């Protein structure tokens, strides 16, 4: 039997837990003319949710395009990635031709990846002005298509890393003019994303409806997991599932990974003991990676990280009792360490109405550190 807990962002409705409300909201916003911004910590399931949304949108006759711009460093890279995403979504010769006609001024070259067969485009820009015009032509081309389009740009915060300075304003100007193309902007760097879309001084301010993706509801997640095991011919004890959800803190990727491994390693009937054995083997396997991370930070930062792991999560990371208990120096030092660790994505900062909380970002590493 195939493992039903795939580690890809999305496989099928049946293997995707809940997110019903988010799905409804996203589809409703997009089909009523808004753009949507999705924000959550890493590995909560944003990309999966985009693909899940595409499924519903395609049923409504939308063309859906997905571009991951994580690797883009410049406007050139951005244009290339968007173009390839567009070509990927069009398995239609005449449309591909039209796309190239629309961009004929800059004479892009089309080739096909020898392994995957997916289309690749090469641009050679001589002037900066050409890049802007090309981007504009791409959007104009999309606007002219018969079908409505939803364009998802994943890791959108990356546009702040481009070597050109005004990309945000430029994009905003173009995007504002589109009526047949709506966007999903997706990202995990909350500070950056929130600054782009909720800071009144920034170009994207109020141009999009923001949805924060949270953890999946505990009861729904539990029923989902039990059911997936059952449908694949295995039974798992309820307390074993409770343990998984608690131990992984319901951080989607880690929950999925543990379920994947438990499924892989277990016989037909799974108990709490089986789950604990799988978890030990996962940690044993990950230790070399944790040690690699250890080598990338200072002793003080490591000690601070371990202290937070042992607390699970913490609301007052510079409070005297916490610093004394773990022998961490003064509040000013702690503040500096905290900022550095959040910046390095070793600590996860989350805020709600009661303020901010901090925890070790990688749940497996956090659980391992507890035992140090």
Ligand X SMILES: Nc1ncnc2c1ncn2[C@@H]1O[C@H](COP(=O)(O)OP(=O)(O)OP(=O)(O)O)[C@@H](O)[C@H]1O
Task: Look up residue 54 and give its two tokens.
Answer: 């595409």
For residue 115, give the DSSP letter. T
Give the shortest CB-43-to-Mg ion separation in angstroms: 8
Choices 1-9, 127-135, 142-150, 348-356 (CB under 6 A): range interacting with ligand X: 1-9
The answer to whether 329 contacts ligand X (rule: CB under 6 A) is no
Q: How many CB atoms lie within 10 A of CB 284?
A: 10
**Nearest CA among 226, 224, 228, 251 for reference residue 239:** 226
Give the shortest CB-46-to-ligand X separation in angstroms: 4
Closest residue to ligand X, judged by C-beta, is 45
- Cβ-in-10-Å burial (0-12, 13-18, 19+) of 351 comes to exposed
Choices 46-54, 57-65, 122-130, 208-216 (CB under 5 A): range interacting with Mg ion: 46-54
45 binds, among Mg ion, ligand X, none (CB under 5 to 8 A by kind): ligand X
- Is 175:35 a contact under the CB 8 Å cutoff? yes
Q: Which residues pair with 208 in a beta bridge?
A: 35
130 binds, among Mg ion, ligand X, none (CB under 5 to 8 A by kind): none
Between 159 and 198, how does the x/- string for binding to ligand X read (CB under 6 A)? -----------------------------x----------
Residue ranges in 244-273 that form contacts with ligand X under rule CB under 6 A: 252-253, 256
253 binds, among ligand X, Mg ion, none (CB under 5 to 8 A by kind): ligand X
222 binds, among Mg ion, ligand X, none (CB under 5 to 8 A by kind): none
- Cβ-in-10-Å burial (0-12, 13-18, 19+) of 209 comes to middle
In this complex, which beta carbon is closest to ligand X, that of residue 190 or of residue 234? 190
Put the strands of the sheet holding 35-39 in their side by side order: 63-68, 149-154, 181-187, 35-39, 208-212
Give the shortest CB-187-to-ligand X separation in angstroms: 8
**Nearest CA among 17, 21, 46, 20 for reference residue 256:** 17
Between 16 and 55, how does the x/- string for binding to ligand X read (CB under 6 A)? xxxx--------------------x-xxxxxxx-------
**Nearest CA among 126, 121, 76, 119 for reference residue 102:** 121
For residue 314, give the DSSP letter. B
| Out of 9, 77, 237, 297, the residue judged to bind ligand X by CB under 6 A | 9
Task: Look up residue 201 and give its two tokens.
Answer: 């001084």
The answer to whether 361 contacts ligand X (rule: CB under 6 A) is no
Choices 6-14, 157-165, 198-206, 360-368 (CB under 6 A): range interacting with ligand X: 6-14
Q: How many CB atoms lie within 10 A of CB 14?
A: 10
Residue ranges in 45-104 that form contacts with ligand X under rule CB under 6 A: 45-48
For residue 221, give the DSSP letter. H
- Cβ-in-10-Å burial (0-12, 13-18, 19+) of 128 comes to exposed
* Alpha-carbon distance values, 173 to 154, 198, 204, 321 (Å): 19, 17, 9, 51
| Out of 35, 37, 40, 47, the residue judged to bind Mg ion by CB under 5 A | 47
In this complex, which beta carbon is closest to ligand X, that of residue 76 or of residue 155? 155
Give the shortest CB-157-to-Mg ion separation in angstroms: 12
In this complex, which beta carbon is closest to Mg ion, that of residue 158 or of residue 359? 158
The residue ranges that bind ligand X (CB under 6 A) are: 6-9, 16-19, 40, 42-48, 188, 252-253, 256
Q: In the complex, which residues of this chain contact Mg ion (CB under 5 A)? A: 47
């Amino acid at each position: 039997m195939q493992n039903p807990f795939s580690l890809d962002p999305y496989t099928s409705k049946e293997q995707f837990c809940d997110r019903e409300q988010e799905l409804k909201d996203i589809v409703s916003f997009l089909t009523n003319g808004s753009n949507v911004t999705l924000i959550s910590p890493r590995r909560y399931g944003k990309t999966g949710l985009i693909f899940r949304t595409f499924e519903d949108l395609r049923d409504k006759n939308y063309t859906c395009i997905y571009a991951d711009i994580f690797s883009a460093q410049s406007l050139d890279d951005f244009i290339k990635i968007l173009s390839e995403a567009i070509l990927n979504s069009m398995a239609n010769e005449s449309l591909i031709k039209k796309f190239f006609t629309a961009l004929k001024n800059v004479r892009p070259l089309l080739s096909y990846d020898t392994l995957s067969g997916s289309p690749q485009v090469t641009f050679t820009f001589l002037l900066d002005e050409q890049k802007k015009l090309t981007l504009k032509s791409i959007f104009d081309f999309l606007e002219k298509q018969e079908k409505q389009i939803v364009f998802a740009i994943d890791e959108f915060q990356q546009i702040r890393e481009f070597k050109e300075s005004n990309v945000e304003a430029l994009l905003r100007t173009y995007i504002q003019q589109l009526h047949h193309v709506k966007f999903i902007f997706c990202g995990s760097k909350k500070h950056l994303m929130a600054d782009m879309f909720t800071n009144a001084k920034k170009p994207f301010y109020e141009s999009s409806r923001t949805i924060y993706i949270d953890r999946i509801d505990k009861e729904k997640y539990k029923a989902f997991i039990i059911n997936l095991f059952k449908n694949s011919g295995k039974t798992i004890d309820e307390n074993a599932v409770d343990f998984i959800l608690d131990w992984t803190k319901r951080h989607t990727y880690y929950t999925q990974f543990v379920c994947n491994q438990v499924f892989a390693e277990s016989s037909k009937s799974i108990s709490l003991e089986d789950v604990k054995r799988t978890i030990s083997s996962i940690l044993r396997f990950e230790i070399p990676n944790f040690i690699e991370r250890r080598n990338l930070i200072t002793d003080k930062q490591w000690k601070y990280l371990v202290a937070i792991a042992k607390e699970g999560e913490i609301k007052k990371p510079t409070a005297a009792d916490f610093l004394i208990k773990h022998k961490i120096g003064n509040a000013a030092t702690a503040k500096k360490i905290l900022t550095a660790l959040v910046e390095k994505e070793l600590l996860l900062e989350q805020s709600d109405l009661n303020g901010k909380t901090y925890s070790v970002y990688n749940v497996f590493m956090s659980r391992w550190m507890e035992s140090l």
